Amino acid sequence: MNTWMGKQGQGLRAAPRAVAMAVALTLALPAASMAAPPAAGKSKVVQALIGAAQKEFEAGNFERAGELYLEIWHQDQETRAALYNAARAYQLGGKIDRADELYRELLAIPDMDPALKAKSQTQLEGVQLKRAERKADEADRAEKSGQYAAAAGLWAEAVRTYPGKMAWLVRQARALHLAGQTANAITAYDKYLASAGEGAADRAQVQAWRQELATKATPVAPKNEPEPDKPAPVQPDNPAPGPIATTPDAAKADGQPTPVPKPVQPPKSEAFPIVPVAVLSVGGVLTLAGAAIWIKAHGDDSTLQDALSPSHAAVYTKTQAQTEASRIHGNYVTGGVLAGVGIVGVGAGVWLLLRQPKSRVAVLPTVNGATVAWRF
């Protein structure tokens, strides 16, 4: 009996410690959260999720912590601090859009605790500022690269996301100014001047830019439609001269002198091709002379060979035979060289003749001063 009572007493004494540990685990939410709900009445699944989410948050695994806090929120809609912690974890993890959605979902709850609601509103403004800063960075890069129209659109998104940055409104107006969108730029300048205080540092510069656009803008005059019953204009007494006549008869009728056609200049006759004919003639003479000398040398060589044959009596001495052979050889060379040069000259003359025009022009004057030309 005493043993049973002792065990029961130990169990009763252990129960408060377990409850205290559960409450401590539940309250160990991130510092960013408001007061956590008590662990009493929470399922073991929720309690385990709270511990795991707290562990991931402290380890810097914000995206995983956000997923666990969302799971807690889905398991128990009364644990609203879990929804706040999920939004905060996504915000710290760089998931700005997801954090924005969760903060707005939290603020849409009707009976939200005022303190938690105020803290959520503050964090939502921080998220909006972060999103706007990203758009501002994109707009600044586009502006630096000369893409002023695109930069103006990005500045407009940044201003819509976070209207508190008046400097972005000036950047938007300036980008529209540089993009040539005069009307939109003036509207943006006016919006800034109406919102900024009199002591704004860049107010004078904005006014100068706005005045620059106002002086350049020229109003378009309204189009005047002609009245239906307006009388036709009276023709002047001296109408403007008509087009100049193009025929001799019409020119005479208008009192203009008859144009005299210019005489046709006869085409220049082509010069006689002296150079090609001269080259061809010289080449032919040299070819004939060289051939004659070569033929003569050939005949002298035959005669020498007959005179030196054993069947004839010695006509030449050895010295005379050598001298005659040298002379014949020289004639061979001379004739061959002359003939070769002549052949080259003949070829050059023919080539020069082929480069000349293939036809000749003859000009014949007529009685009325005109000329007739033809080729043959």
Contact between residue 283 and residue 339 where contact means Cβ atoms under 8 Å apart: no
Residue type, 150: A
Q: Is the pLDDT assigned to residue 136 strictly greater than 50? A: yes
| Paired strand residues for 291 | none
Phi, psi of 373 (to 5 degrees): -125, 140
Q: Is residue 237 part of a domain?
A: no
Shared domain check, 151 and 83? no
- Give tens-digit pLDDT for 241-280: 445 444 444 344 444 555 555 555 555 545 567 787 888 7
| Paired strand residues for 365 | 371
Confidence (pTM): 0.41
Q: Which residue from 37, 33, 30, 65 is spatially nearest to 49, judged by alpha carbons?
A: 65
- Give tens-digit pLDDT for 50-76: 999 999 999 999 999 999 999 999 988
Phi, psi of 362 (to 5 degrees): -115, 140
> Domain boundary residue among 214, 241, 263?
214
Q: Which residue from 320, 282, 328 is spatially nearest to 303, judged by alpha carbons?
A: 328
Total count of domains within the chain: 3
Q: Is residue 296 part of a domain?
A: yes
- H-helix or E-strand spanning residue 372: strand 371-375
Q: Is residue 142 part of a domain?
A: yes
Q: What percentage of the chain reaches a pLDDT higher than 90?
A: 25
Q: What is the pLDDT of residue 58?
A: 94
- Residue 286 CB neighbours (<10 A): 20
Distance CA 183, CA 219 (A): 12
Contact between residue 144 and residue 161 where contact means Cβ atoms under 8 Å apart: no
DSSP secondary structure code for residue 361 in this structure: E
| Paired strand residues for 373 | 363
Q: Is residue 240 part of a domain?
A: no
Q: Domain of 91: which CATH number?
A: 1.25.40
Cα distance from N-terminal residue to C-terminal residue, the chain: 152
Q: Is residue 222 part of a domain?
A: no
Distance CA 21, CA 57 (A): 20
Range 128-140 average pLDDT: 89
Q: Is the pLDDT assigned to residue 77 strictly greater than 80? A: yes
Phi, psi of 183 (to 5 degrees): -60, -45
Q: Is the pLDDT assigned to residue 19 strictly greater than 50? A: no
- Give tens-digit pLDDT for 219-240: 555 556 555 555 555 555 554 4
Distance CA 288, CA 304 (A): 24
Shared domain check, 153 and 103? no
Contact between residue 306 and residue 344 where contact means Cβ atoms under 8 Å apart: no
- Residue 125 CB neighbours (<10 A): 13
DSSP assignment of 176-244 equals HHHTT-HHHHHHHHHHHHHHS-TT-TTHHHHHHHHHHHHHH--PPPPP-PPPTTPPPPPPPSSPPP-PP
Q: Domain of 193: which CATH number?
A: 1.25.40.10
- Give tens-digit pLDDT for 171-200: 989 899 998 888 898 898 888 888 877 778
Shared domain check, 152 and 100? no
Q: Is residue 51 part of a domain?
A: yes
Tokens of 112: 């939200």
Q: What percentage of the chain reaches a pLDDT higher than 70?
A: 67
> Domain boundary residue among 177, 195, 214?
214
Distance CA 139, CA 149 (A): 10
Distance CA 151, CA 92 (A): 28
Shared domain check, 32 and 105? yes
Distance CA 367, CA 327 (A): 71
Contact between residue 34 and residue 84 where contact means Cβ atoms under 8 Å apart: yes
Show the domain range for 191: 132-214
Q: Is residue 127 part of a domain?
A: no
Query: What is the C-alpha R_g of the chain?
Result: 58
- H-helix or E-strand spanning residue 46: helix 44-58
Confidence of residue 89 (pLDDT cuts 50, 70, 90): very high
Q: Is residue 189 part of a domain?
A: yes
Q: What is the pLDDT of residue 95?
A: 92
